[in-house]
Structure 1
């Protein structure tokens, strides 16, 4: 909320932050519009399209979380924006390209507008000094005090820790989307039923493993960094062959590529945390 004038103790929200908020709202709206257009023009409304469109809509809610974090001046807005824009472009992009034929022109135009909005959002969040000065508040966590447990703001930490955490948290949905898509094709390949079931269970289990590892990575644990890096490699080695076998080359590109990018970002962030004097050791 803008300030009401000098002497009232209310800080005026910087103009770049207000512009950024408006851009985030426009990006969330554009995401929904493009997804509706893609679904409308899609020649085949099968299980795969339904699952991927449902995930795309569910992920749209994350834009509202990002808007909230920017308005609350949370430092977590930066890594969240990076993961969100990346997964949004991949998720929407794979909906545009049909299994056969050319993508519809309205979908291509909408995707171009969405890509431009995402790029602008990332540049503002990571490069504008006024936005950088605004995003100073750290996540809150339970702290034991003399008066009991209280939610307090965590001390400033390495931003690459937040990036590694958020990137690794995306493993679970990025595994579950192709697994559920493959489940819709089992009537034609029943011999893969157990593999798909294990795929779904692994997608659920990896969320807990990533959460536990990410917690200790923030505490500077070398073991946690190595464990999360190992989990990342196992997830990629497990997910990509199943995408290729059960969903074909199309599924490998649509569903495997986002996971590879998230894994690469996690590994790079872990490498950066290992080089941080505050967290190394």
Structure 2
């Protein structure tokens, strides 16, 4: 039987997904301008709703990925939704601020329950049973637990590509007045796609405990920041740097911290 705190957690996750949609609907209603940038950022924010639904499934199946996924979703959701509340000029509407406050409380409550509640932690610590083909036929064995920091680093790195593509596609709307930046935007989009493959390849070897994979993922993270942040500032201004660069900085910091913890764990195991 599923513990009561886990049932409460899944209810809160569903409420968070609904709250994301409500905030987006209010933003669309009150937004004075529905340009390319607004459409792209709204679509990205709504995509986070699917992420919360996936997290519900992860919690119900007692997957270890639920904890790091909740951190990534909280960071990206609050930035993705919060950056749309503040209009280019004037003050944000009061209903938008209230709904964003409710969403923030829900996100923080979910993260606290996932990382601090003993019943939820015990539920997620269960090792799922996987089918294994043996001489006696098909049997089920408990899967070995994964390193939570490896999972955190992998999931954080998977967020690099969409966090780069959102401002890159948004910058397309600025090319009417600045056509000389067209080539830079094209490279920006291609880089965002290439990063997804680089992060995936590094994550595969990171799971196997490769030191080179940790070094490679660290290099990819620093290269992404060095490439993306200046373009955000040059093409989208200081506002774009805050709205689109800050989520990438947060995801990168989480990945680098996780890689540091992995290195410490490996050093203690080798000692």
**264, 267, 278: which one aligns with 2:256:** 267
- Displacement of 1:265 in angstroms is 0.4
Aligned twin of 2:81? 92
RMSD of aligned alpha carbons: 2.3
SS for the counterpart of 1:187 is: coil
Give, in whole Å, the separation in 2 of the partners of 1:277 and 1:18: 36
Query: Cα distance, 1:75 vs. partner?
Result: 1.1
- 1:228-252 Cα offsets, whole Å, 9 max, x none, are 0000000000000000000001100
TM-score computed with the length of structure 2 as normaliser: 0.94
**1:193 — aligned with what?**
182
Aligned residues: 270
Q: Check whether the contact 2:64–2:146 (CA below 8 A) recurs between aligned residues.
A: no
Residues 62 and 128 of structure 2 are in contact (CA less than 8 Å); yes or no, is this contact kept in structure 1? no
1:143 positional shift: 7.7
Q: Structure 1 residues 133, 144: closer, same or farther in 2, change over 3 A? A: same
Q: State the 1:149 CA deviation.
A: 11
Deviation at 1:99, TM superposition (A): 1.2
Contact (CA 8 Å) 1:273, 1:280: kept in 2 or not? Answer: no
**Within the alignment, does 1:22 sit opposite 2:11 as a pair?**
yes
Please state whether the residue corresponding to 1:73 is helix, strand or coil: coil
Which ranges in structure 1 are unaligned for 5 or more consecutive residues? 1-11
Alignment deviations for residues 132-184 of structure 1 (CA, whole Å, 9 cap, x no partner): 00013568999886799999864112100000000000000000000000012
Of the structure 1 ranges 109-118 and 141-150, higher mean CA displacement relative to structure 2 is found in 141-150
3-state DSSP of counterpart to 2:255: helix
Q: Which position in structure 2 is the counterpart of 1:102? A: 91
Q: Could you tell me whether the CA contact under 8 Å between 2:152 and 2:258 is conserved in 1?
A: yes
Q: Does 1:36 align with 2:64?
A: no
**Corresponding residue of 2:36:** 47
User: Unpaired segments of 5 or more residues in structure 2?
Assistant: none
2:209 is matched with 220
2:59 is aligned with 1:70? yes
1:58 positional shift? 1.3
Name segments (4+ residues, structure 1) moved above 2 Å: 136-154, 277-281
Change (3 A) 1:219 1:98: same
| Alpha-carbon distance between aligned partners in 1 of 2:224 and 2:240, rounded to the nearest angstrom | 16
**Other-structure match for 1:130:** 119
Cα distance between partner residues in 2 of 1:276 and 1:13: 32
Q: Distance in 2 between matches of 1:252 and 1:209?
A: 24
Give the secondary structure class of the aligned counterpart of 2:265.
coil
Per-residue CA distance 1:203-245 (angstroms, 9 max, x = gap):
0110111011011111111100000000000000000000000
Distance 1:198 1:186 in 2: 14
Q: 1:162 aligns with which of 116, 140, 151?
A: 151
Q: Return closer, same or farther for 1:141/1:93 CA change in 2, 3 Å cut-off.
A: farther
Residue 236 of structure 1 corresponds to 225
Give the deviation of 1:277 after TM superposition: 3.6
